[in-house]
Chain A
Amino acid sequence: MSELTYMLLKFGFLALMWVFVFGVVYALRSDLFGQQVRRVVARAREEQMAARATATAPASTPVGGPRRGSAPPALSFDEEPGSTQQTPPRRLVITDGPKAGLELELPEEELTIGRSAESGLVIRDDFTSSRHARLLHWPTGWVIQDLDSTNGTFLDGARVHAPTPVPLRTPITIGTTTFELRG
């Protein structure tokens, strides 16, 4: 084997190592350089834009990493062009209480709410039961179900007894926290 070949292999190996390093960094870019700032108002405006954009270019997704940057592709059926219905709820926004302003994306099937750490939305105040309520994604839409909580779950001021459909932007109150579903 000639010296030249070994030289090339040596530099090739160094390059290979750096390719790996930059591969990891590239895959992590959203973690390293931060994600889009999500604010309630900005998000709403952005989504209107996105809804318009998906009509022309369905493949375009917002900048983001593999962890949670882009919107789940499976949810795109909700934005089928031509759907006359109102946009289905995709996130839960906390409108009142100690964490007002926070929002989280709704999971696919159900979101449990309560004091226990296993809940999807953990609310630890003096009025919340450990398994307080849950939001269920029924074929007809999202419903709220009270799980026999001590202090109750209130949809638009009325106590929930049976699974009740949750319209968009209708306040649900649990303890000191109020949230609503938004598109």
Chain B
Amino acid sequence: MDQTHNIPARRTELQMARSMCWHCQSEVTGEYFCERCVKVQPVSKELDYFTCLGLPRLLNIDTEELEARFYKLSRAFHPDFFQNKTEAEQSISLGNSALLNTAYRTLKDPIQRAEYLLGLEAGAAKDIRTTPPADLFEEILALQEDLEEFRALTPGRDPGEVDTLRARLKADYESLQQRQHEMEARLFELFEAWDTLQAREGQDAGVRAKKDTVLKEIRDILSNRTYLRNIVNDLVATLG
């Protein structure tokens, strides 16, 4: 097979550390294929998913562009195209493909994307640990206790109580759903705020502090969202 046929040796605009081609030792700066010997280069494990896909570290991303970049790189790295190559190249193609798939899956979903970004920024943004939402815990415990009580009731024996409790739980469920929507809306506002701050990076000294505030609120919402999701699922499972 013509080795340049399926593997375009084009430069991808990536900021990778300068390194050497594992095969011909010539310098490679960010491209996934060596310009001289056209061998595939391993994607560094330290490379974050945004950089890996050549995207800026933003929370609102163009999913069409993400997909296009993913397909392009998928084709370049696909193990099928390396079947007749050396073992080293096969293993690089496999490793790159696996990393690429994870990167794509993570960035495609807005929640996973935000969680991933928090992980990346956690080093830079110290102290973005969440404050335990004490009120929410209390509320969840109270709701769980109501649910337990509801499950313990026998419909045949005390229909009045069953109906009263069911109506109350139903109302709770609706108000929780409403809150989930509000949380999501706020989350997307924060995505915007983050992206705006990213664009202002380096322009004023207060950007880092503002970014940390945004990240902290994102983290709080994401964890509160998980608590709410659990109780909502329990409500759905019990009420039917």
* B and A form one assembly: no
* A interface residue numbers (CB < 8 A to B): none
* B interface residue numbers (CB < 8 A to A): none
